[in-house]
Structure 1
Amino acid sequence: MDLFLDILLDTTTDTVKLIPFLFLTYLAMEYLENKAGEKTVDMLLNAGKKGPVIGGILGVFPQCGFSAAAANLYSGGVITVGTLLAVFLSTSDEMLPILISERAKAETVVIILGAKIVVGVAAGILADMVVRIVGSSKKRELHIHEMCEREHCHCEEGSILRSAFSHSIEIIGFIFLISLLLNIAVEFIGMEELVSTVSRYPVFSIFVAGLIGLIPNCAASVTITKLYLEGVLSVGCMFAGLLACAGIGLLVLFRTNRDWKKNAMILASLYGVSVAGGIIAQILF
């Protein structure tokens, strides 16, 4: 019973931290949909190569809600898939606090953060280039209103504050439920034991580390970072796992964006780039 209460408390605490990010994101989206001028909207929709660069740099900061905010902005048509991918790859989740608390060398921290930014920006720019080539005739548009219609929130009947609050509460409930189930599963599976066992198989472990990193739970980034610092995981496993750690962003993406084919492609791209990055890091270091 005590264990369950601890899990419940941890899940509640982590979820509450997301509320400001989600509320401000939805507030900005509602403003764009209802108040912002056409020039402002066009500027955001046509940010071009700047989007992945900005996303890659901002994503590296330890903000648990940033990947969730990016997922919402992508689902609403505000940012490109490249910008979203850059954020997912560069986001540090709980990695940076663990590195600092464990007194990792400053050089190690800088290399890891720098590598995540470079990989995120490069992959994001490449993804946007592919999208422009494949669908060059299609003009991107905001489709925030479509999200409102799917959720039956009746946003048009109230203020943008009410709409933002309504969306935030709805998505927070979803995140809390899934996170609680994931935390229970992680507790009983034993994340550290699982990762330690896999690390005995050098090449295979990079692919598995990437899969573990995809788990939308802070336990993944915490475990991978700690085991790397303890010498249990190789540099390749560490990079593969931490590049794939998009935090709660993947949960929000699959909840808010109904184009499952695009979601699957983003997930596959995130995993593929993470594994490739891990293999390259293993060879170089």
Structure 2
Amino acid sequence: MELFIDILKDTTIDTVKLIPFLFLTYLAMEYLENKAGQKTVRMLLGAGKKGPVIGGILGVVPQCGFSAAAANLYSGGVITVGTMIAVFLSTSDEMLPILISEQADVRKIMAILIGKIIVGIVAGILVDIGVRVLGKGYQRGLHIHDICEHDHCHCEEGSIVKSALIHSVQILVFIYVISFALNAVVEWIGMEEVMNVVTHYPIAGIFLAGLVGLIPNCAASITITKFYLEGVLNVGSMFAGLLSCAGIGLIVLFKTNHSWKKNVMIVATLYGISVVCGIIVEILFGM
């Protein structure tokens, strides 16, 4: 019973933290859809090439809701897939607070942050270029109304504040249920047990660390960071795991973007980039 209460408490706290991010994101999306002129919309979509740079820089700021906001904006056609990938790669949930609280070397912290920013920006730009060359929806245009129709929120019948509130409540309920289930699984299996396997196989461990990072739960980033600081994880595994730590953004992506094929491709791309970069970092700095 005590474990159940702890899981319930942790899930509630993590979900409540997302409320301002989700509400403000949906409010901005509703404004764009209902109030902004075509000129403003064209300017937003035209700035797509700069999106990965902005996303890569802003994503590194320790705010758990930014990846969720990026997933929402991508699903609404406001930002490109490369911009979202840049945010996913540069963000890492609780990494920075843990590094600071553990009084890690400032140079080490800066190296990790800069590395994540660079990977996020470069990967985001390359992804956008690839999508544009292949001609598969680089400029999709705003389609926030598609989300509204799917969620049956009847946005056109009320104010944008009401619509944003309805969307926020719906996604929060979804996030809460999924997060609770994931927290229960993590507690049952034990994140430390998973990471112990990673430490025994340096290169193979990078692949597993990348998978651990994909778990949309703050326990992943916390455990990876702590294990690295304690010398249990090598630098390559740490980097791969923290790159793939997109947090709650992955849950929001699967909830709001209704093309599961694209979602799976996005996750595979995120994982592939994280593992490749982890291997490169391990070869350059770990061996």
Classify the TM-score, shorter chain: over 0.9
Matches within 5 A, 1:44-193: 44-135=44-135, 139-193=139-193
- Report the counterpart of residue 278 of structure 2 in structure 1: 278
1:262 aligned partner: 262
Cα distance between partner residues in 2 of 1:52 and 1:5? 40
Shift of 1:197: 2.4
Q: For each residue in 1:241-266, what CA deviation from the matched residue of structure 2 results, as whole angstroms up to 9, or x when unmatched?
A: 00000010000000000011111111
How far, CA to CA, are the matches of 2:102 and 2:138 in structure 1? 48
**Normalising by structure 2, what TM-score?**
0.98
2:216 aligned partner: 216
RMSD: 1.0
Match of 2:196 in 1: 196
How many Å apart are 1:284 and its aligned residue? 0.8
**CA deviation digits over 1:141-193, x for unaligned, max 9?**
10000110011111100000000000000000000000001111101111012
Percent identity among equivalent residues? 72
Q: CA deviation at 1:136?
A: 7.3
State whether residues 153 and 166 of structure 2, in contact with CA within 8 Å, keep that contact through their aligned partners in structure 1. yes
Who is 2:234 aligned against? 234
What one-letter code is carried by the residue in structure 1 that aligns with 2:126? Answer: L
**TM, length-normalised to structure 1:** 0.98
Distance in 2 (CA, whole Å) between partners of 1:222 and 1:136 is 36
1:15-37 deviation digits (Å, cap 9, x = unpaired): 00000000000000000000011
Say how many residue pairs are matched: 285
1:249 aligns with 2:262: no
Displacement of 1:274 in angstroms is 0.2
User: How many Å apart are 1:137 and its aligned residue?
Assistant: 8.4
CA distance, structure 2, for counterparts of residue 48 and residue 87 of structure 1 = 14
Deviates more, 1:257-266 or 1:67-76: 257-266
Deviation for aligned residue 1:96: 0.2
Which residues of structure 2 form unaligned runs of 5+? none
Deviation above 2 Å: which 4+ runs of structure 1?
A: 136-140
How far apart, CA to CA, are the structure 2 residues paired with 1:51 and 1:72? 15
Quote how far apart the aligned CAs of 1:56 are.
0.2
Please tell me the residue identity of whatever aligns with 1:111.
A
1:33 counterpart letter in structure 2: E
Counterpart amino acid of residue 152 in structure 1:
H
In structure 1, the residue matched to 2:5 is 5
d(CA) in 2 for partners of 1:53, 1:37: 25
User: How far, CA to CA, are the matches of 2:127 and 2:252 in structure 1?
Assistant: 20
| Inter-partner Cα distance in structure 2 for 1:272 and 1:4 | 35
1:49 shift after superposition:
2.3
State how far apart, in whole Å, the 2-side matches of 1:66 and 1:136 are: 25
Q: Structure 1 residues 196 and 130 mapped into 2: Cα distance closer, same or farther (>3 Å)?
A: same
Deviations 1:24-79 (A, max 9, x none): 00000000000011111111111132100000000001100000000000000000
Q: How far apart are residue 203 of structure 1 and its match?
A: 1.3
> Unpaired runs of 5+ in structure 1?
none
Moved more, 132-141 or 258-267: 132-141
How far did 1:139 drift? 4.2
Amino acid at match of 2:62: P
Distance 2:50 2:251 in 1: 25
* Superposed displacement of residue 198, structure 1: 2.4
Distance (Å, rounded) in 1 between the aligned partners of 2:124 and 2:103: 31
